[in-house]
Chains A and B, each alone.
Chain A
Amino acid sequence: MADGTGDERPDDQMGDEAREALAAELSELLGDAVVESHVEAGQNLWLRVDIEQWHAATTALRDAGFAYFGFLSAIDWTDAPEGRYEDTEFDAAGAGEDDDASSATAEETVRRGGGETRFQLLAQLHSPARHAAVLIKADVPEADGAPASVPSIIDIFSGADWHEREAHEMFGLVFNGHPNLEHIYLPTEFEGHPLRKDFPLLARAVKPWPGVVDIEEIPPELEAQLEAEVMAEFEASGAGA
């Protein structure tokens, strides 16, 4: 068929070497905007850029062929105070099996290019021509308890419009240059930013966890007596003979 392109398959699937090379290339391209880059073996390429350079870096990447907009979102790196709303002891028992997990976490997240500030912005861009994808991140500094405003990339990728609105309502990030920064999912009068970790999840808060119940034990002081009684009856019934 004339309209479908052939079925030749690119044999790569983007090997790690290609990723390393790409990371180097992009680091060079973006210059001092890149704070760090990280290649996760067999997976992904992360680029962490300076938030001031967010717009410039995105433009440069678009011009370098990364013209396909994947998504834009944010992460709140603080821990939720309520955990999973389940019994804390039970939760801790699961987490406590290897104690070094928590210390590894902090190190790991920094290594992945993030987590130095509370909020982090991330976006995924593809390059259909190179069969490559890059995930760019930027730490969003806080000022007066609120995240500082970040540049909007809606003029580079039209598709970022709704993603930025979502990040705005969910995390309270403010995008400079966005023409219509309103709630997208939530009602206009909704207060709070649900995906921030300190936003309580009411559905879980109003109901006790049924798993907290435990089986009712026999009072220890009665245990011996009970055991004796049962045994006595058992023997009396002749089954013991």
Chain B
Amino acid sequence: MPQLPGLLKGLGVTARTAMRTLFPKRGIRTLIPAPQQGSVTVQYPHEKEAPPDRARGVIALHEENCTACMLCSRSCPDWCIYIEGHKVKAPPRRAGGAVRSVNVVDRFDIDYALCMYCGICVEVCPFDALFWSPEYEYSEPHIADLLHDRIRLSEWMETVPEFLDYEPGSEQKVRKVPEFGIDDFAPARKLEADGARELASGAGS
């Protein structure tokens, strides 16, 4: 039957925690109650928790780098990436060059209602077109709205943090996140402005 020590120790633990929560400050200010600092909870809608930089929150698409190679779509375990693309002919980069054949992404959708956030797509991408962003506030009242199209995915690029430095002893190279500006939305339009063509005039439709 109960003896005192264990029971009293338990009361001590809860009391100590309450004191630490209520009066977290040290020194002379110990007497000022500041539960806001003492508690470990985050008052979510009022303040936002910052996940680590590597957190897999949402996938961002750098469309300029995407060649619609389908690797991500094919390696996705959930079949939640939908890509469509077509080829265009673009003028050479400099005088004397040959006409380039460029892949243009028509559709790049990720269905976050299906996504399991495994990151395989980001990993297999050979052209640095997909990145993880720690952003997490994109819940939707309608499940269909969780399908992010390429514009929405490109918008996430702004929230992609720089890659972290490694601990000493590592042989990994720190990668770079490509610069991303407002011009980088819909690179197909930029290509078109440069004179790229997808169908010969007169041959279309």
Contacts and interface: CB of A to CB of B under 8 A. Distances in A.
A210 B82 CA distance: 6
Nearest to A226: B200
A237 B92 CA distance: 12
B89 A218 contact: yes
Contacts of A229: 197, 200-201
A213 B83 contact: yes
A239 B84 CA distance: 32
A233 interface: yes
Contacts of A110: none
A231 B70 CA distance: 29
B79 A215 contact: no
Interface of A: 86, 90, 207, 209-211, 213-218, 222-223, 225-227, 229-231, 233-234, 237, 239-241
B198 A210 contact: no
Contact of A226 (B69, B89, B96): B89
B99 A231 contact: yes
Nearest to A230: B89
Contacts of A240: 95-96
Interface of B: 68-70, 73-74, 76, 79-92, 95-96, 99, 101, 103, 195-201, 203
A230 B68 contact: no
Contacts of B80: 210
Contacts of A217: 86-87
A215 B89 contact: no
Given A218-B87, A229-B200, 14 more contacts: A209-B79, A210-B82, A211-B70, A211-B73, A213-B83, A215-B70, A215-B86, A218-B199, A226-B199, A226-B200, A227-B99, A229-B197, A230-B89, A241-B95
Contacts of A233: 91, 195
B87 A215 contact: yes
A225 B70 contact: no
A157 to B, nearest CB: 35
A239 B95 contact: yes
B73 to A, nearest CB: 5
23 contacts: A210-B80, A211-B70, A211-B76, A215-B68, A215-B69, A215-B85, A215-B87, A216-B86, A216-B87, A218-B87, A222-B199, A225-B200, A226-B199, A227-B89, A229-B197, A229-B201, A230-B91, A231-B91, A233-B91, A237-B195, A239-B91, A240-B95, A240-B96
B95 A214 contact: no
A222 B200 CA distance: 7
Contacts of A215: 68-70, 85-87, 103
A230 B90 CA distance: 7
B74 A218 contact: no
B70 A230 contact: no
Nearest to B68: A215
